Amino acid sequence: MVNVKIFTVNPFGENCVLVWDETGNGVIADPGCMREAEVQELADYISAHGVTVKKILLTHGHFDHIYGVKALAEMYGATVFMHPADKDLVATGNSLLTQYYRMPDAPKDFVFQPVKEDDVIDFGNTKFTVIETPGHTMGGVCYYSKEEKLLLSGDTLFAGAIGRTDSQWGDYDKLIVAIMEKLMGLDGDVDVIPGHGPTTNIGYERTHNPFLQPFNEPEGDIDNEDGLYIQGE
């Protein structure tokens, strides 16, 4: 059975998640620790609980999710995992975003191991499977443990909402399709830890999330006289 500790960090209230199991091995997901004090708080907790961290999981490359990546990777000698489609976002796109929000720039020069659909990342007795969910960014992914009934959804799925898609890296239709086809079919009692805000579960989002109702289906083809919706190929 895994243990979970959520650290809410930086001005965007990002959820940095520490997950570890009975072996004492664990992972850090989306370390958006912008301030040195936030990095230290996480490090102190890891030390106090005897957790060994060798892997850092990124759900996507937005600056508010990666502020602490380089410092923590160096601190623990940890391997960073990220989808390669977000490489350019990290390299150049975040600078535009941080300027817009008047925030400190995020690290660009960390090394990462690329992930793809169905990759398995393990630690101790625990396994997370990679689920590609592009739309919030091109390289958005979730990490899912079937055995632990746990989903780290990043900014793909929130409690009662979905990730923004109104940037040059976003695609609303892709995000909706990914959520509906890959996440909503999971068991209803799968706990969801999003990148911001409170936790939730799949069953609740499937029945209550207003962004996942039929009127938000991806745009299809209109090719009949009555203008009826016909699902695109």
Q: What is the pTM of this model?
A: 0.91
| Contact in structure between 59 and 156 (CB atoms under 8 Å) | yes
| Contact in structure between 58 and 143 (CB atoms under 8 Å) | no
Q: What is the pLDDT of residues 99-150, one digit of tens each?
A: 999 999 999 999 999 999 999 999 999 999 999 999 999 999 999 999 999 9
Per-residue pLDDT for 78 more than 60? yes
Averaged confidence pLDDT in the chain: 92
Per-residue pLDDT for 216 more than 60? no
Domains of the chain: 3-216 (3.60.15.10)
- Candidates 94, 36, 96, 24; CA nearest to 65 is 94
Q: Which of 92-101, 113-122, 195-204, 210-219 has the lowest mean pLDDT?
A: 210-219
Confidence at residue 213, expressed as pLDDT on a 0 to 100 scale: 83
